[in-house]
Structure 1
Amino acid sequence: MQRAEVLKRVIGILTEAEEIRRAAEAGEEEGGSEFGSSVVTQMLNEMLPAIRVPADATPQEVARLVASALGPALQTMVAGFTLAFSSLAMAHDSGQSDISSAEVLQTLAFQVEAGLFDEGP
């Protein structure tokens, strides 16, 4: 998955989490705690590559295959969440009370779509 796609997915997950939280607080939806497992599982299934391990692979070979396959994907995911967190934190720290977290994420999504974060894996 390309970096921009990961960033878009991270923004989508955070936006969905906010909607689920609001619905749970309003009593509209049960199972707010299930968000953690269902959304995270879906995200990992979408973002992490499949790993093929030969049947005769040694434990060291398995470790190398897993690390080389998952390392870049995990690094990109963490970078995406870090960017989103930083954007939300900067808006909060600036004291802007007229902008919601959803608006911050929407602005970030527009920046991603415009290619602002295309560099890198």
Structure 2
Amino acid sequence: MEQNEVVLRAIGILTQSAEWIRTADRDAEPGGVAAEEPAAGAEPGGDSGAGQIGSLLAEVFPSFTVSSEATPLEAAHSVTEAALPPIMQLIGAFTFVFTELARVHDAGRTDISSEELLRELALRMSRPQDPQG
């Protein structure tokens, strides 16, 4: 999965999380509807199952096998070798989005909400990159 695709998915997760928080806040208000306890592995306010986060992890992390003859140390090295690049890719994506949100916040801008900024970032990341720029 390309880095810009991972960033787009991270933006989607962060955008959805804002809706989860709004729903939880609305449900917590007096007279609000009590939210049901989510099923194991379910996202708050979402359907049961893996959801967006689980789906992203499934797409980013490679499938690999470890030899049954491998020692525990060899198995650990195999897992680390396979998992480290996607972990770094995910950390990079969420760090980029956080940094963009923090930059706007720290500049004191009130003309754009975090959700609007996330939409703007998604549009920017969806456009083909200009090879000259």
Structure 2 residue identity aligned to 1:30: A
Aligned equivalents of 1:31, 1:85: Cα separation in 2: 30
Q: Does structure 1 residue 101 correspond to structure 2 residue 114?
A: yes
Compute the displacement of 1:96 (Å).
1.3
Aligned equivalents of 1:32, 1:18: Cα separation in 2: 18
Q: 2:35 corresponds to which residue?
A: 30
Aligned equivalents of 1:106, 1:99: Cα separation in 2: 11
Indicate if the aligned counterparts of 1:11 and 1:84 stay in contact, CA closer than 8 A: yes
> If the length of structure 2 is used for normalisation, what is the TM-score?
0.74
Aligned equivalents of 1:29, 1:15: Cα separation in 2: 23
Indicate if the aligned counterparts of 1:8 and 1:112 stay in contact, CA closer than 8 A: yes
Q: 1:119 corresponds to which residue?
A: none
Q: 1:48 corresponds to which residue?
A: 61
Q: 1:73 corresponds to which residue?
A: 86
Q: Structure 1 residues 20-29 or 69-78, which shifts more?
A: 20-29
Q: 2:3 corresponds to which residue?
A: 3
Higher share in helix: 1
Structure 2 residue identity aligned to 1:9: R
> If the length of structure 1 is used for normalisation, what is the TM-score?
0.81
Indicate if the aligned counterparts of 1:53 and 1:62 stay in contact, CA closer than 8 A: yes
Rg (Cα) greater in structure? 2
Aligned equivalents of 1:42, 1:21: Cα separation in 2: 20
Larger RCO (CA under 8 A, 6+ residues apart): 1
- Count of matched residue pairs: 116
Aligned equivalents of 2:19, 2:36: Cα separation in 1: 13
Q: 2:15 corresponds to which residue?
A: 15
Which of 70, 73, 77 pairs up with 1:57? 70
Q: Structure 1 residues 26-35 or 12-21, which shifts more?
A: 26-35
Deviations 1:102-121 (A, max 9, x none): 111111112211245xxxxx
Q: Runs of 5+ in structure 1 lacking a partner?
A: 117-121
